Structures are given as C-alpha cells and as structure tokens.
Structure 1
C-alpha cells in the first residue's frame, strides 16, 4: 500500500477549515471543486449548495493528502463532534510536532498535551476548532517507508 489519505466531511465550512489547515501545514491546494462546477441537466445543484465544496485536497508531503468536502443539505448533517476517528500526523522532529500541535489545536480542545508518552513517543491529542480529532506524534524510532 502506498498511502492512506484522510477524507473529512463538513457541514458547509470545509473551505474555512482547509484554509486553516493550509495555514498550519503550508503548501497549496491541489484540487478545489465546488458543487456548482458539476451542475448540469443531469446533476441539478441548488443555488444555496453551488459554492459549497464537493472536494478539496491539500497535499501533505510526497505521498499523502488531507481531503474534504461539504455534505449537501439533502444528505443531512454530519456530527463533527462525534466522529471519534482521529487523524494521526507523524512529525519528523519534536520541533515540527510542537509547531503542528500548537497550530492545529489553536481554538480547539486539548485532550492530551504534547509531551513524552509512556510508549516512547512525543505526542499530544486534541479536537480542533472544527470538531476534528487529531494526534500529533514524533517517534525517533519510526522510519517512513517510501
């Protein structure tokens, strides 16, 4: 397996959230598709849904991307505060782990402050201001496979 990419659903604020994530991770969006971009006779899009995000992607490193979308209203609301899945970011250094943890957790709720963990990694856990759960970790013994 080459990669696993994380896809997050939002209730109309995907672009805002991804602009925030971009401010922390850096880089540029590789894709922004709005529902209105796909509108046709076969695929009707309500006016209030046209500017919402159908897909947005932010590359994270060489092989990974953070991907998201807005859930159209006709599909119901997603409960962002109850997804109980976590996005795990493996940093390349303690310094990078601190930068990512502090940046992404700004305005959110820290569940476990970043610190040396009992299993030998430097890690912290939080829910960001959009309700998405994250773990940021640095493991000096972890060697990424290309």
Structure 2
C-alpha cells in the first residue's frame, strides 16, 4: 500500500497542535521525540515525528523543525509505503528538475527516507517501510 499524507512543520508547537487535532478527529496518536534517538542538543522534548491516524482512515503527520520553519510552505507531502521499487521510482521522478535535500537512504528508525523539493517548489518526503511493519 502507498499513501500520501500532509506533513505540517512546526517550531516547538507540534505536540500541542497534534493533541488539538487528536481532540478534533480522534484516532491513534503517536509521538517520537528527538531525545528518543539521542538527539538532545537544544530541543530534546520537541517532536521528531508525530502521526495521527484518524478514525476516518486518513493520517496527519507533524514534526518540530529545530532550524525553524523557513522559506516556502510549512506543509509538505509525505509518501509512504512498502513497495521499495515503486517508491524509489516516485522519489527519482519527483526529483527531476528539483533539488534532493536528503538522499533516499536507510534512517535511524529502520525505514529508508529521502526528502526533496520538486521543480514547482513543493517539498516531498518519501518513506519506505518494510512489508513486516
């Protein structure tokens, strides 16, 4: 399965926003903090990744961005799924004429992830999980 999900960036308010959205939409909320991966510089309690899977079957994701929310939109689109070949094709196609900001590669949380800005200025994240997840 492959899904596209809005990913809303915050600067220290991700947890508060996610709790609010959870109160509105219900569902299952999971929050991972920077400290959970040993990243404790200036913002250990900030949200590295928050995901709300709503009772309606849709999802909403949000992180805190320690560097601030700068330039362009604070919303990007995250494509996630377990079909590695297809997801890699999406990443490469979206990158044509754009800028790869984070190469598609294995990450600390076990999935492969990459980020890019397409030729229209839209930010994309591609997360490839295992079929067992």
Q: Which of these two proteins has the greater Rg computed from alpha carbons?
A: 1
Question: Of the two structures, which has the highest relative contact order with CA contacts closer than 8 Å and spacing of 6 or more?
Answer: 2
- Choose between structure 1 and 2: higher helix proportion: 1
- Choose between structure 1 and 2: higher strand proportion: 2
